[in-house]
Structure 1
């Protein structure tokens, strides 16, 4: 083929204009404002109220702490619902422990001390299993031999 012939053929090719096939590309407009508005309207129906002046929220899960600094906190006590919004940071319990000890009350400090002792004695995977097993023991009290729950309930009603 000749170079001039190729140039002539290239000039005849159209990529748009009359008679060409249209290609439609759907534009996806997903905004977070619509999701946020729906969430806020649902929270308003539940009856949440904003709780001001909370500087930090820490959520403890096994040996990980999810920390929110200057979060927006909303709560509905009747619906047992708490909403914490903000930017979270995931940290290890050992890293954050020295900074939060002075913020804990005496009851929580004892619980945290027990958790820390368990983590020091066991491997991280075993500590979570031991904590779950310990929680299971606290849920249901042991029965005294020869006594049933019904008999104990009747005794408490009588006294």
Structure 2
């Protein structure tokens, strides 16, 4: 390589004058706690208060449950804001149902029943239970090659 080019590169990384020690690597200052500090200051402005002695938080989302064990819970009822922090575990609803039913009161048991009915409606049903007998106002199933007009004429004739 070119000697002048090497001297120029070596001079660019010196921290002091001639004869001073060369810097081995550039020091990178990371601010990892900046986001956490910003979040905490924003939550303070909202006016959240810590809620002690909560052992478990379950968040129901479709057929999944996000479960926090011994979380840190903060709330601001005026701002309708709840903060749950901790390590989450995602589990299926069917796996947690036996343990959750014991913890629910009579009010929440109704909500759980509605959630179970909603999940059953979403699940595709196959076999004889899938057929419905109330086809009065439904559009008839078409056979490939037929047209809507021909199917409507047959339906009116019968």
The two structures have a TM-score, normalised by structure 1, of 0.60
CA distance in 2, matches of 1:98, 1:59: 16
CA distance in 2, matches of 1:107, 1:89: 25
Q: Return the offset for 1:20.
A: 3.1
Q: Encode CA deviations 1:76-128: one digit per residue, 9 max, x unaligned.
A: 1111110000011100000111111111111211221232244346517xxxx
CA distance in 1, matches of 2:37, 2:70: 21
Aligned position for 1:156: none
Q: Which runs of 5+ in 2 are unaligned?
A: 14-24, 125-158
CA distance in 1, matches of 2:77, 2:118: 33
Q: Is 1:52 the equivalent of 2:41?
A: no
Instruction: Report the count of equivalent residues.
Output: 111
Aligned position for 2:133: none
CA contact (8 A) 2:71 2:85 kept: yes
Question: If you compute each CA radius of gyration, which structure gives the higher value, 1 or 2?
Answer: 2
Aligned position for 1:67: 67
Q: Return the offset for 1:58.
A: 0.3
- Superposed CA RMSD: 2.8
Aligned position for 2:152: none
Q: Which has the higher helix share?
A: 1
